Amino acid sequence: MIVAVSDEEPRVLVREPDGALPAGPFDPEVDRTLEVGLRRWVVEQTQLRLGHVEQLYTFGDRDRDPRRPGGPPMLSIAYLAFVRESTPAGQAHWRSWYDYFPWEDWRGERPAVVDAAILPAVDAWVAAASGEERRARERRARRCTGTRRVAWNSELVLDRYELLWELGLVAESRSPLPATLGEAMALDHRRILATAIGRVRGALGYRPVVFELLAPAFTLFRLQRTVEALAGVRQHKGNFRRLVTGAKLVEATGERVAEGAGRPAELYRFRRDVVAERNILGVSISPPSK
C-alpha cells in the first residue's frame, strides 16, 4: 500500500475502476527477494519509485476471493510505503483513505455517520444478546466505539472495520442492507487498508514516519497538518509546536517562506541525528473529541 499526503488529505494509490490496491505476483526466477519484486512491479504499474518500504501483514484467510469459493487459499504479503505525491501512470489514482473510512476522520466535527448509523447498529447488536455473550459484546463495542467515559481510540481502525463487517454495515460483508458505509474496495483490500491506517497511526507516536511524506524543508504548520491528516484528529497548535521543538525532532533552516497572508513562516527540517540519540522519535497524538 502506497501512502502520500497532499492538500491535507491522506491518500492511497488504488487501481480503477475496481478500487484495488496495486498488486503483483512474486517471481523467484526474476526477483531475488519479495521487496525487489515489489519495487519492480510498482514501477511497471505506476512509474513510481519507492523509498522506504516495510512489511505490513500476511493475509491468507479462506475465501478471500469470492469469485473462487472453495478454491485454493490466496496468500498476499502486504507492504507499506510512503512517498511524496506525484502523478502515477496507468490505471492507478490517488484517493483519500477517508473515502473508504469516513467514520475515521475527526478533524472537523464528530463524523455524522457515527451517531446516524454506527452507534444505533452497535447498540442493537449488543441488545440482541444476553448473559455472558451480551457482556462480551458490550466490551467489544466499548473498545471499538468508545463511550461517554471511554474515548474513541483512533488506532483501532481494523477492529472497528471488522465489527462493521460483522454487523453488515460495509459492502464487503455482502449484507442485504440497502445502504453501506464508505466506498467498497476490491476483495478484502479495505481490510488491508484498515490494517495499514492503524499501523501508521500507531507509528506516529514512536517513529518519524511523517517526515517521509514531507519535502526536505517544511513549516511547522505543514508538519502539523500532515500529522492531523494521518491521525484524523486536530492538534492544539501551541502544544504541538512545543512538543516537536522541545523533543528536538526538527531544526530551523534559517529560511522563511510566504504561507498565507501573515508574515513569512520559518522553514524546518527533520534532524536525522535524532535517530541515533534515542528510541522514541514520534509525535504524541491527542484523542478525538467525544
* pLDDT (tens digit per residue) in 148-185: 677 889 999 999 999 999 999 999 887 777 668 999 99
> Under CATH, which architecture does the 2-98 domain have?
Alpha-Beta Complex (3.90)
With a cut of 90, say whether residue 196 has pLDDT above it: yes
**What digits encode the pLDDT tens for the residues 98-120?**
999 999 999 998 999 999 999 99
Which residues of the chain does CATH 1.10.10.10 include?
208-277
Mean pLDDT of the chain: 88
Q: What percent of the chain has pLDDT over 90?
A: 60
Please, what CATH class does the domain formed by 208-277 belong to? mainly alpha
Which residues of the chain does CATH 3.90.79.10 include?
2-98
- Contact between 122 and 167 (Cβ < 8 Å): yes
pLDDT attached to residue 213: 92
Higher pLDDT, 288 or 269: 269
pLDDT category, 84, cuts 50, 70, 90? confident
User: The cell 484524523 sits on which residue?
Assistant: 232
**What digits encode the pLDDT tens for the residues 256-272?**
998 777 788 999 999 88
Q: Collapse the DSSP code of 114 into the 3-class scheme (helix H, G, I; strand E, B; otherwise coil) and give the result.
A: helix
d(CA 62, CA 225): 39
Q: CA distances (Å), 192 to each of 60, 67, 84, 157, 188, in order?
A: 11, 18, 21, 11, 7
**What digits encode the pLDDT tens for the residues 44-56?**
888 888 888 999 9
pLDDT category, 276, cuts 50, 70, 90? low
Question: What is the DSSP secondary structure assignment for residue 84, as one 8-state letter?
Answer: -
How much is the pTM?
0.90
pLDDT attached to residue 51: 82
